[in-house]
Structure 1
């Protein structure tokens, strides 16, 4: 794996883990119906991050394009999570925004 991917790869792995945690925690909330969009975006984001991390690990020629998509999905997930006061959502938003920034940076430098 190239060093140029190190920070983004770590951000994607962290984000995938945090989004999976957030989705599971949202399912335990009293009003799960209110969390449907958050859960769906958490799942999308976790999958996008896993895809991006795998592409970077393989040094895929499509890594930058995949990271650009991951940045968009991470931004959307963060924007949804930040609207909820639960600690798991607030933490997820922070990690999503960081991942989106790292992915945008990598995509623009390619």
Structure 2
């Protein structure tokens, strides 16, 4: 059962993930070696923003988007974990947390 506590936790995790991805994207932009990381951070930011919006409005489509958001966050985390930089590691942690919270709403 979806509760306000569940959607609030997911919304918070999505916004924290969006912020971590924005920082990571900013650091990775312009580096050919980090192109995939930057692309996944961009995708994650867009999805997390939309997911947080649907959670905030208690949309009936929240679970559907949460499923996609969890998958995109996992892909972003896997890429970021390949890199030693702190911004990538921080992004990976935020993505894993977001995926975990999103899965609770599927």
Q: Please classify the TM superposition score into its range, dividing by the shorter chain length.
A: over 0.9
Q: 1:7 aligns with which of 2, 9, 13?
A: 9
How many residues are paired up? 104
Q: How far does residue 3 in structure 1 lie from its aligned partner after superposition?
A: 2.9
96-105 or 19-28: which moved more?
Answer: 19-28
Question: TM-score normalised to the size of structure 1?
Answer: 0.90
3-state secondary structure, aligned to 1:88 = helix
Alignment-derived partner of residue 78 in structure 2: 79
Q: Which runs of 5+ in 2 are unaligned?
A: none
- Pairing 1:44–2:43 present: yes
1: distance between equivalents of 2:29 and 2:60? 37
2: distance between equivalents of 1:102 and 1:38? 22
Question: TM-score normalised to the size of structure 2?
Answer: 0.93
Which consecutive aligned stretches of 4+ in structure 1 deviate over 4 angstroms post-superposition?
A: none
Q: Which runs of 5+ in 1 are unaligned?
A: none
2: distance between equivalents of 1:60 and 1:106? 11
